[in-house]
Amino acid sequence: MTAPDSSRMYDGRPVADRRAQRRAQFLAAGLELFGESGYQDNSITALCRAAGLARSQFYEHFHNREELLLAVFDMIQEEARQAVAEAVDLTEPGDSVGWAQAAVRAYAESLGRDPRRARISQIEIVGVSERVEQHRIDQREAWMTFFADQCTRTLGPDFVPPGGYRAAATGFVGALNALVHQWSTGDSRLDLAAVTEVLTRFLTSLTTVSE
């Protein structure tokens, strides 16, 4: 896939803008199809049909279907991190309870409000191939780093959670994903308030500095 000259124009628009738009259309198609009926049950032909674009245009952006899955997964994760960061920025430094509540709710709403995002992030991405599995692990590492950065910003550089950042982040992210996924599937026993309350208490227990 060779990138075109970004200064060229086509039909009155920069080529780079048109490419970005087509890529966004494929990402939207991947979110829709992978998130609603699964990765394995959707072909490149189906993805092109959903995007309203040609097969040749698909290969301008992605080598194969797996590469699109990874791009959709990364988009979901990055948008979730952005939502959490924006929510946390509105809290007061040192307010561990307010920070925890804002972070949890932002993450839950980013993934859980759209069941397709939760399904791709927690079901469709698992076990596809060694490459995809490694990518999923790399994203988990990115969340651990993000968790540590946000703790440091709110609680100061000297704060270390019980068990250290790796153990604390692994435990919390696991609980976070399990509850958000359960809520996103429409489990009548859970609502956003309940999910937020449980996870806020969990995160607060890890980030409250003992006197």
Same structural domain, 28 and 86: no
CB 110: neighbour CB atoms within 10 A?
Answer: 21
CA distance 141 to 146: 9
Domain C-terminal end among 26, 43, 63: 63
Across 140-150, average pLDDT: 88
Quick one: 170 and 130 in the same domain?
yes
**Beta-strand pair 13-14/9-10:** antiparallel
**Three-state helix/strand/coil letters over 148-190:** HHHHHHHHCCCCCCCCHHHHHHHHHHHHHHHHHHHHHCCCCCC
The pLDDT assigned to 33 comes to 98
Q: Give me the DSSP letters along 38-92.
A: -STT--HHHHHHHHT--HHHHHHH-SSHHHHHHHHHHHHHHHHHHHHHHHHHTSP
Q: 149: domain CATH number?
A: 1.10.357.10
Do 207 and 191 contact (CB within 8 A), yes or no? no
Q: What is the mean pLDDT of residues 179-194?
A: 81
Whether 185 shows a pLDDT value over 70: the answer reads: yes
Same domain, 82 and 175: yes
Q: What is the DSSP letter of 208?
A: P
pLDDT band at 188 (very low <50, low <70, confident <90, very high): low
pLDDT(9) > 70: no
Using 50, 70 and 90 to split pLDDT, how confident is the model at 8?
A: low
Q: Do 16 and 71 share a domain, yes or no?
A: no
Q: Give the pLDDT confidence score for residue 65 in this predicted structure.
A: 97
User: In the structure, what pLDDT confidence band is assigned to residue 86 with cuts at 50, 70 and 90?
Assistant: very high
Q: What pLDDT, on a 0 to 100 scale, did the predictor assign at position 1?
A: 53
Query: Residues 26-68: pLDDT tens digits?
Result: 999 999 999 999 999 999 999 999 999 999 999 999 999 999 9
Determine the average pLDDT of the residues in 146-165. Answer: 84
Where is average pLDDT lowest: 23-32, 105-114, 177-186? Answer: 177-186
Domain that holds residue 36: 1-63
**Same domain for 73 and 49:** no
Per-residue tokens: 81: 């991190």
Distance CA(21)–CA(58), nearest Å, equals: 12
Residue 202 and residue 104 share a domain: yes
